[in-house]
Amino acid sequence: MTLVVTKPTEHALAADSGWAAEVTFHVRYAETDQMGIVHHSAYVPWLEEARSALSRQYGRPYADFERAGYGLAVTELHLRFITPARYDQAVTVRVRVSKVRSRGVDFEYAVVDAATGECLATGCTVHVCIDQAGRPVRIPPDWQAFWASLKR
Amino acid sequence: MTLVVTKPTEHALAADSGWAAEVTFHVRYAETDQMGIVHHSAYVPWLEEARSALSRQYGRPYADFERAGYGLAVTELHLRFITPARYDQAVTVRVRVSKVRSRGVDFEYAVVDAATGECLATGCTVHVCIDQAGRPVRIPPDWQAFWASLKR
Amino acid sequence: MTLVVTKPTEHALAADSGWAAEVTFHVRYAETDQMGIVHHSAYVPWLEEARSALSRQYGRPYADFERAGYGLAVTELHLRFITPARYDQAVTVRVRVSKVRSRGVDFEYAVVDAATGECLATGCTVHVCIDQAGRPVRIPPDWQAFWASLKR
Amino acid sequence: MTLVVTKPTEHALAADSGWAAEVTFHVRYAETDQMGIVHHSAYVPWLEEARSALSRQYGRPYADFERAGYGLAVTELHLRFITPARYDQAVTVRVRVSKVRSRGVDFEYAVVDAATGECLATGCTVHVCIDQAGRPVRIPPDWQAFWASLKR
């Protein structure tokens, strides 16, 4: 269940050139539902994969962050669905850092059709840095600098 | 990736008595991730299952809405993660209608520990009524009255 | 994508009284695909949830097995799809232990319509006991006795 | 929950040159579980995505098959897990047609590490051609010829 009405401001956001990274893939059949479109829950791993791609492309894979004993726990998730994505469609997810705090990082996303650039969805996530016991802690300085460098 | 810091206002929301329905189930192993807690995307089908339970419990299953030629497409999703849910935990998802519009319905949710009532997450979703071609349309009057009757 | 042709032998298996435990739940909307039926991947967590229910109902939750430093890694999975499951359908998954080895356990499953008992799918999984480093190890005697006691 | 023991025959299968197509992607974080490896259910959409890639790469997208009024329902699924896949790992799924029947098609798969070619899992699926009412029907001749041409 997704949707339908396009909004000019969403399209402007999607076309904005200030993205730090993007990842493109084909929609999987398993991601559709009986409405015949992509189920809205499927977008959540897509945003996460864009974060992974961001880290990977800048040479600082998120797995290293975990190996160092940290995690970026999601504390808020917001998604706005503009136009339904469909099976086998090539989809691009764009990502950037929108805010860096001493104990957290926020990301923004646009999900667009890879061929036309049409905006399918926008989203943002709020994260808190935690240690292996799940306690909120300060982000290590090198990672904080890394994410700050991706801020637009 | 979820989290950690509890907030008094969230707990007040979860304990609020004005919920229309709830559904309880055990967290599935497949819903965990390598942080050792429930992955944040797993909550999205949980909210949806609470909507299904709501319809079912009041004798108006959502499948009937679809058989009548309509759908409730998700246009916005918001989730706030308070305390991580864990494998095999009994979880209760509470739901109510927060707004009924001529062409849409909004829902609010609280995800709580089934045993203690501790708030794990809160959320809301915004939906637009569509026809089988995916076009936004007015909600049929009987369904509009049904959802309005569940508003708190 | 599931299916259609019913087979007498499958129905006999499903109706067999030698099951050790079962769990019943409603099919989630997110588990459907654009064929209008439950996606075949959705059955895999259902089997796992039946294993969890089995452990839980006999007072030996699988979480305890993990807390003791072990895991039951899946090495083989087989599923046969008989009749498609559909959104909101009440489904029962029955489970039993089919074999206990020094380093592993096998399970068998039948997925049936909760109301009619009609067989929807059958399956089996093969597991190896591993330690926290992922190495195959002997099953601790008390757990081996537990699973052996569930063998039919 | 996946696993551990490597088998020479599996590796031989994975290295076999008779594959018709392959697709490579990074493991998503959401695909991991609390064992710290990829959950075994995650491989099922991977096999399906390899089938999609196969169709796409040979210019006969599966969406066309559906638009023509047909579907390939899964009637059997078998997976053997050899070595656990992990978050962010680049994984390649290889696929070929193993059998074409008048009313069905079977596929074989190998999931390998994209960098080293190490075999992670092997699988096969059995499909029946159905019409839009879900009834088994003969595969249209052009599609039957297409799949037969991919048989090794």
pLDDT tens, residue by residue, B52-75: 999 999 999 999 999 999 999 999
Residue A85 maps to which CATH number? 3.10.129.10
Encode chain B (152 residues) as per-residue pLDDT tens digits: 333 333 445 666 666 778 999 999 999 999 999 999 999 999 999 999 999 999 999 999 999 999 999 999 999 999 999 999 999 999 999 999 999 999 999 999 999 999 999 999 999 999 999 999 999 999 999 999 999 999 87
The answer to whether A28 faces chain D, any CB pair under 8 Å, is: yes
The burial class, CB within 10 Å (0-12 / 13-18 / 19+), for D68 is exposed
Residue A44 domain-assigned (yes or no): yes
Pick the more confident residue, C54 or C1: C54
Residue C114: CB atoms within 10 Å: 15
Please answer yes or no on whether B53 and C28 come within 8 Å at the CB atom. no
Cβ proximity of C151 and C100 under 8 Å? yes
The pLDDT of residue C10 is 61
User: Residue D93 CA to chain centroid, in angstroms?
Assistant: 7
Residue in B with minimal Cα distance to C62: B88
The pLDDT of residue D17 is 75
β-pair partners for C95: C21, C109
Q: Which pLDDT band holds residue A3 (cuts at 50, 70, 90)?
A: very low
Q: Residues 6 or more apart from D10 whose CB is under 8 A from it? A: D80, D82, D119, D122
Chain B interface, best mutation among C22, C28, C39, by max B CB count within 10 A = C28
Give the position of tokens 């269940």: A1
Closest CA to C73 of D83, D91, D26, D119: D83
**What are the pLDDT digits (tens) for D45-71?**
999 999 999 999 999 999 999 999 999
Q: What distance in Å separates the CA atoms of residue A114 and residue A24, rounded to the nearest whole number?
A: 7
What are the Cα distances from residue D26, in Å, to A48, C51, D94, D115? 12, 29, 15, 12
The pLDDT of residue D15 is 66
State which residues form the domain around D40: 8-149
Q: What distance in Å separates the CA atoms of residue A118 and residue A120, rounded to the nearest whole number?
A: 6
Residue A1 domain-assigned (yes or no): no
Q: Residues 6 or more apart from C149 whose CB is under 8 A from it? A: none
- Tokens describing residue D71: 């579907």
Q: Is the pLDDT assigned to residue A135 strictly greater than 60? A: yes
ipTM for the whole complex = 0.91
Instruction: Give the lowest-confidence range in B34-38, C7-11, D72-76.
Output: C7-11
Least CB–CB distance from A73: residue in B3, B34, B72? B3
What are the Cα distances from residue D98, in Å, to B58, B145, D48, D76, D112? 49, 55, 15, 14, 19
> Is residue C131 classed as helix, strand or coil in its secondary structure?
strand
Q: What distance in Å separates the CA atoms of residue B106 and residue D150, rounded to the nearest whole number?
A: 49
Residue B59 domain-assigned (yes or no): yes
Residue B3 domain-assigned (yes or no): no
Q: Which pLDDT band holds residue C15 (cuts at 50, 70, 90)?
A: low
Least CB–CB distance from B44: residue in A40, A71, A135? A40
Pick the more confident residue, C105 or A13: C105
Please answer yes or no on whether C34 and A33 come within 8 Å at the CB atom. yes
- Average pLDDT along chain A: 92
Q: Residues 6 or more apart from A28 whose CB is under 8 A from it? A: A42, A87, D45, D48, D49, D52
> In chain B, what is the straight-line distance between the N-terminal and C-terminal CA atoms, in Å?
32
How many independent structural domains does chain B possess? 1
Least CB–CB distance from B33: residue in D1, D33, D41? D33
Give the position of tokens 């959502």: B62
The answer to whether D39 faces chain B, any CB pair under 8 Å, is: yes
Return the sign of the alpha-carbon dihedral for residues A84, B92, B28, D35: positive
Residue D43 domain-assigned (yes or no): yes
Instruction: Return the DSSP state at B119.
Output: E
Which residues in chain A have their CB less than 8 angstroms from residue B75's CB? Answer: 2-5, 80-81
For the residues A55-83, what does the mean pLDDT come to?
A: 97
Please answer yes or no on whether B76 and A79 come within 8 Å at the CB atom. yes
Which residues in chain B have their CB less than 8 angstroms from residue A45's CB? Answer: 41
Q: What distance in Å separates the CA atoms of residue D139 and residue D147, rounded to the nearest whole number?
A: 10
Chain C interface, best mutation among B51, B88, B95, B127, by max C CB count within 10 A = B88
Residue B137 domain-assigned (yes or no): yes
Residue D2 domain-assigned (yes or no): no
Residue A140: CB atoms within 10 Å: 14
The pLDDT of residue C14 is 67
What are the Cα distances from residue C59, in Å, to C52, C69, C71, C146, D35? 11, 18, 17, 10, 22
> Is residue C141 classed as helix, strand or coil in its secondary structure?
helix
Please answer yes or no on whether C28 and B52 come within 8 Å at the CB atom. yes
The burial class, CB within 10 Å (0-12 / 13-18 / 19+), for C152 is exposed
Q: Is the pLDDT assigned to residue C130 strictly greater than 90? A: yes
E strands, chain C, where?
21-26, 70-81, 90-101, 104-113, 119-131
The burial class, CB within 10 Å (0-12 / 13-18 / 19+), for A115 is exposed
The answer to whether B7 faces chain C, any CB pair under 8 Å, is: no
Chain D interface, best mutation among C75, C101, C109, by max D CB count within 10 A = C75
Least CB–CB distance from A73: residue in B1, B71, B73? B1
The pLDDT of residue D2 is 37
The answer to whether B34 faces chain C, any CB pair under 8 Å, is: no
Q: What distance in Å separates the CA atoms of residue D56 and residue D21, rounded to the nearest whole number?
A: 10
**The one-letter amino acid at A12:** A
Q: Which pLDDT band holds residue C4 (cuts at 50, 70, 90)?
A: very low
Q: Is the pLDDT assigned to residue C147 strictly greater than 70? A: yes
Residue A49 domain-assigned (yes or no): yes
Which residues in chain A have their CB less than 8 angstroms from residue C33's CB? Answer: 29-30, 32-34
The answer to whether D1 faces chain B, any CB pair under 8 Å, is: yes
Q: How many residues does chain B have?
A: 152
Question: Residue D49 is inside which H or E element, if any?
Answer: helix D43-57
Chain D interface, best mutation among A22, A23, A24, A29, by max D CB count within 10 A = A29
Q: What distance in Å separates the CA atoms of residue A105 and residue B116, rounded to the nearest whole number?
A: 31
Please answer yes or no on whether C29 and A87 come within 8 Å at the CB atom. no
Q: Is the pLDDT assigned to residue C5 strictly greater than 60? A: no
Closest CA to C127 of D2, D26, B132, B133: D2
> Is residue D101 classed as helix, strand or coil in its secondary structure?
strand
Give the position of tokens 């306690």: A135
Residue in D with minimal Cα distance to C6: D75
